[in-house]
Amino acid sequence: MEDKRALTISGIDLNWDTQKGKLQFQGDDVAMFWISSAMRTFFDTIEEISGEEASNLVFEAAGFRQGMVVGDYFDIYKEMDLEDATKTLSNIYAVAGWGAVEFIDMCYEVKKVTVLIKDGWEYKINLAQGKTKGSNFIPAHFAGVFTSIFGANIWYEVELDQMEGEPYTQINYFPSDITVSENIHQLARKKESELICQLEKAVDEKTKELKTLVEKLSSPVIPVHEGIVVVPLIGNYDEERSEKLLVNTLNKLPSYKANYLILDLTGLDTDAGTYVAILIGKVGAAANLIGTKTILVGVSPKLGKMFAESASDIKKFDFFQTLQHGIHYALGQSGRKII
Task: Compute the distance between CA of residue 298 and CA of residue 79 in angstroms, rounded to an integer.
Answer: 96
3.90.226.10, 3.30.750.24, 1.10.1040.50, 1.20.1250.20: which CATH number matches 219-333?
3.30.750.24
Give the number of other Cβ atoms within 10 Å of residue 35's Cβ: 17
Run of H or E residues at 78: none
In Å, what is the CA distance from 53 to each residue of 47, 115, 159?
Answer: 9, 25, 21
Reference 219, options 261, 260, 248, 252; nearest CA is 248
pLDDT given at position 170: 97
50: amino acid identity, one letter: S
Q: Cα–chain-centroid distance for residue 176?
A: 29
Task: Express each pLDDT in 263-281 by its tens digit.
Answer: 998 888 767 666 778 888 8
Query: At CB < 8 A and 24+ separation, what contacts does 238-241 make?
Result: 241/215
Task: Compute the distance between CA of residue 252 and CA of residue 222 in angstroms, rounded to an integer.
Answer: 10
In Å, what is the CA distance from 143 to each residue of 81, 138, 151, 159, 339?
Answer: 21, 9, 11, 14, 94
42: left (phi over 0), alpha (psi -120 to 50) or beta: alpha
CB 123, CB 139: distance < 8 Å: no
CB burial readout 230-247, b (16+ within 10 A) else e = bbbbbeebeeebbeebbe
Instruction: Determine the 3-state secondary structure of 155 from DSSP.
Output: strand
Run of H or E residues at 235: none
pLDDT given at position 273: 63
DSSP string for residues in 87-110: HHHHHHHHHTTS-EEEEEEEETTT
Mention every residue, 6+ apart, whose C-beta is less than 8 A from residue 255.
none
Q: What is the mean pLDDT of the chain?
A: 86
Beta strands in the chain (DSSP E): 4-9, 12-17, 22-25, 28-30, 100-107, 112-118, 154-160, 169-175, 222-225, 228-232, 260-264, 293-297, 318-320
pLDDT given at position 244: 83
Sign for the CA dihedral angle at 92, 95, 96, 97 comes to positive
Mention every residue, 6+ apart, whose C-beta is less than 8 A from residue 306.
272, 273, 274, 277
pLDDT given at position 264: 92
What is the block-wise mean pLDDT of the chain (339 residues), using blocks of 10 residues? 81 88 89 91 92 89 91 70 79 91 89 95 95 93 92 94 96 92 74 74 79 66 90 82 84 90 86 74 89 91 80 81 91 78
User: Domain ranges in the chain?
Assistant: 1-31, 33-178, 185-217, 219-333
Cα of first residue to Cα of last residue in the chain, in angstroms, is 112
Cα torsion at 30, 147, 115, 64 (round to 10°)? 50
The number of residues in the chain equals 339
- Report angle CA 243, 273, 266 to the nearest 5 degrees: 80
Task: Compute the distance between CA of residue 56 and CA of residue 192 in angstroms, rounded to an integer.
Answer: 18
3.30.1380.20, 3.40.50.620, 1.10.1380.10, 3.30.70.1140: which CATH number matches 33-178?
3.30.1380.20
